[in-house]
Amino acid sequence: MKPAGADQALEPGLTRALELALGAGVALSGALLFAGLALDQLALMRVGLLLLLFTPVARVVVLTVGLFHQKDWGFAVVSLWILLVLLSSISLGSLLG
Amino acid sequence: MNEAIPHIPALLLAAIGAATGLVGAMLGLGGGVFLVPLLTLALGVPIRIAIAASLVSVIATASASATVNLSRGFVNVRLGLALEVATSLGGLAGGLAAAALSTRQLFLLFAVTLGAMGLVMAARAGKRNVIADLSVEPGRLGGYLTEAGTTYVYRLKRMPLAMAVSLAAGAVSGLLGLGGGILKVPALSSFCGIPIRIASATSTFMIGVTAAASAFIYWSRGDIAVPLASAVALGALPGSLAGARLAEHVQARSLKMVMALVLLLVGARMAMTQP
């Protein structure tokens, strides 16, 4: 519960979308990691771990899109910058690999 | 990798992940400061493998506890975003600083910082950051906190200090493989006017991203030992969900005292380590 005029708060829909993105990533990767360990299947664990690594990326994508949608330009640009840093580290990683 | 990874039962690894996730989520840390020493010193896992597994577990802890903290309204997303800019720059600066300082000097610097923060935190544990007068403007990076049915206002103070600490946290994260929450939470709470619940929830929201940036590089270098990292992360998921829910029922003062104790213990251990 927030007092009226709490413009610091995100729109409830955006908060909900962030929760969903994180929750889905966590639930799916958790299920895959569990199945992989129980059945001793490396491939399942591998997919589970990659899904987990991409969960924060999905969260940043949702936040960036949401902030642009809210027309919160300043913070939307900040969020986009963070997304770019993340993507550059992923591409740097694949260059090294 | 040619370093041998000792065989450790998956259940033991999951239990370790659950315990570090629980404490980490309560205090707003990823748990890397506990995991890396546990895996290397107690179980003989090579340091790079331990750091890589710890980064994966930090992501699990951060993502799982953020789902709880978001729905409670404890995450200050805009503050997190502003500080994340400094953290991402710190990650770059860390690479440069690594050339200038030896690991030993870095560990000592880190130990002294943690020790000093621990003492300040303990000394100020009784001081609240919340303002009961709801007509006070929280400002662009402040906000509201509802605790036990009462709503309070909080304001961000000393923004440059908050940015500097986040920069340092980013640098440390790149150098020592930590999430950096252990620097951010005490600084935000003791010096910057942010209530400890908001500071730790905002920290967990951020450190998943910080850890992911490094984790992808470890992944492609093949440093992530798949079964080991899977077991630790799987344990960390329920552990951190429980930790985030538990934190709600613990008084802010107690959270600060536990955090102060953790800072002093980790600081002492780092001062004694001979890397």
Per-residue confidence in pLDDT tens, chain B, 275 aa: 446 788 899 999 999 999 999 998 988 888 888 888 888 888 888 878 888 898 899 999 999 999 999 988 899 999 999 999 888 878 766 656 655 667 677 777 778 878 888 888 888 887 777 887 888 888 888 888 887 778 888 989 898 999 999 988 888 776 666 778 888 888 898 889 899 889 999 998 998 888 888 888 888 888 899 999 999 999 999 999 999 999 888 888 888 888 888 888 888 887 887 65
CB-CB neighbours of A1 under 10 Å? 8
Give the residue from B149, B119, B150, B114 showing the smallest Cα distance to B132.
B150
Number of C-alpha atoms within 13 angstroms, CB side, residue A26?
28
The answer to whether the CB atoms of A94 and B60 lie below 8 A apart is: no
Number of structural domains in chain A: 1
The answer to whether the CB atoms of A82 and B81 lie below 8 A apart is: yes
Residue in B with minimal Cα distance to A77: B81
Contact list in A for residue B222 (CB cut-off 8 A) is: 97
Judge whether A4 lies within some domain: no
Contact of B205 with B184, CB cutoff 8 Å = no
Judge whether A3 lies within some domain: no
Judge whether A60 lies within some domain: yes
- Residue window 21-60, chain A: list those with CB within 8 Å of chain B: 22-23, 25-26, 29-30, 33-34, 36-37, 42, 45-46, 48-50, 52-57, 59-60
The answer to whether the CB atoms of A8 and B141 lie below 8 A apart is: yes
How close is the nearest chain A Cα to the Cα of B81, in Å? Answer: 6
Task: Please tell me the pTM assigned to this model.
Answer: 0.89
The conformation of residue B131, written as its DSSP 8-state character, comes to B
Give pLDDT tens digits for B181-194. Answer: 888 888 898 889 89
The answer to whether the CB atoms of A45 and B71 lie below 8 A apart is: no
Could you list the residue range(s) of the whole structural domain that residue A25 is in? Answer: 14-96
Give pLDDT tens digits for B67-86. Answer: 999 988 899 999 999 999 88
Of A18, A52, A81, the CB nearest to B70: A18
From CA B189, how far away is CA B146, in angstroms rounded?
A: 17
Residue in A with minimal Cα distance to B55: A53
Judge whether A25 lies within some domain: yes
